Amino acid sequence: MLNDLTLLSGNDIPIDEIHLLLHQPTIKEIALIGEEAFFSGCELLRFNKENLNSEDRSRLEGIANFDIIMSIMREKNPSAQKQTVGAQMVLSLLFPTYLIHLNYENMSIDFKQENEEMTFHLNKENYDIFVKVLNEILSLDGGEGTDYNPSGDMARQIADKLRDRQAKLAAAKGNNNQKVAILSRYVSILAVGENKDMNSLLNYTVYQLFDEFKRYQLKLNWDIHLKAQMAGAKDLKDVDDWMEDIHSNVDK
C-alpha cells in the first residue's frame, strides 16, 4: 500500500480514503508515553477476531473488529481501561493535529482540527484501511458486521484475552517480568554497534529504526562470514547479501 521510500522518509502520510493526515511518530515521541503503553495501545487498535480461537470467533461472527474494539474501550474494568488509555495515546501520537473523540453513540472515532468545522470519522466501514497503514508504518505483523454491540461480559473476556496474549508474547521474548523494551534496546544496540549518537537514533521513526536494525544484522553477519573465509574457515554456511531488498516480502 505504501512504498518503501515514503515509509523511510518519515514524512506524514495522507490517508485519502478517510481524509486524515497520519504522522509517523519518532522514538523520542513514543518515549513520552512509554513502550508498554504504546504497544498495548497498538494491540488494541489492531485487534482482529481471527486471532482468537474458533469458539470465540464463532461467538463474534457478524460483528466487525472495529465494533469489538469500541466495546472494549467502553468497558470500565481496569484491564480494558488501561488498554483504552494506551490506544488513545497512540492515536494522539499518530494524529497530533486533531482533537480525538471516542463516539460510543455513533460507534466511531471522531477527528476534528481546531478552528475547523469538518469532522472525520473512523468506523467499521473504513477502519481496515487505517489498520493496514498502522501495520506498515510501525512494522507490525499484518494484523461485514452488523450494528450489534458485544455484551459487557464479552468485551471483558476479549480484553482479558488481549492482556493474556501480550503476556505470552512477552514470555516468548524472554521478558519474564513483561518489561517492554524493544525500541530502547534497538537504539542502544545501534548506537554502540554503528558508533552513532543515540540522540540521532531517537529521532528515527519505528520503520526507520527497524529497517536500519535489520540492515545492521545482515551487515554484521556478512562481515563475520567474510573474516572467517579470509582466515581459511571451510564449509561455512552462506549468509544473505547485506545489500539485498529487505522489504521484498512486504505485501504492498
Cell of residue 247, nine digits:
522489504
Region 218-238: mean pLDDT is 84
> How far is the C-alpha of 173 from the C-alpha of 201, rounded, in Å?
23
More confident residue, 160 or 27: 27
- Residue linked to cell 517492554: 180
More confident residue, 167 or 106: 106
Residue 147: band (very low, low, confident or very high) from pLDDT cuts 50, 70, 90: very low
- Residue linked to cell 480461537: 53
> How far is the C-alpha of 222 from the C-alpha of 94, rounded, in Å?
36
Region 98-104: mean pLDDT is 95
Region 188-196: mean pLDDT is 95
Assign residue 251 a region: left if phi > 0, alpha if psi is -120 to 50, beta otherwise?
beta
Residue 162: band (very low, low, confident or very high) from pLDDT cuts 50, 70, 90: low
More confident residue, 144 or 194: 194
What is the pLDDT at residue 158? 56
Lowest mean pLDDT among 8-12, 151-155, 239-243: 151-155
pLDDT tens digit string along 124-145? 999 999 999 999 999 886 433 3
Degrees, nearest 5: CA angle 25-28-29: 45
Cell of residue 69, nine digits:
474494539
pLDDT tens digit string along 33-78? 999 999 999 999 999 888 787 777 788 888 899 999 999 999 888 8
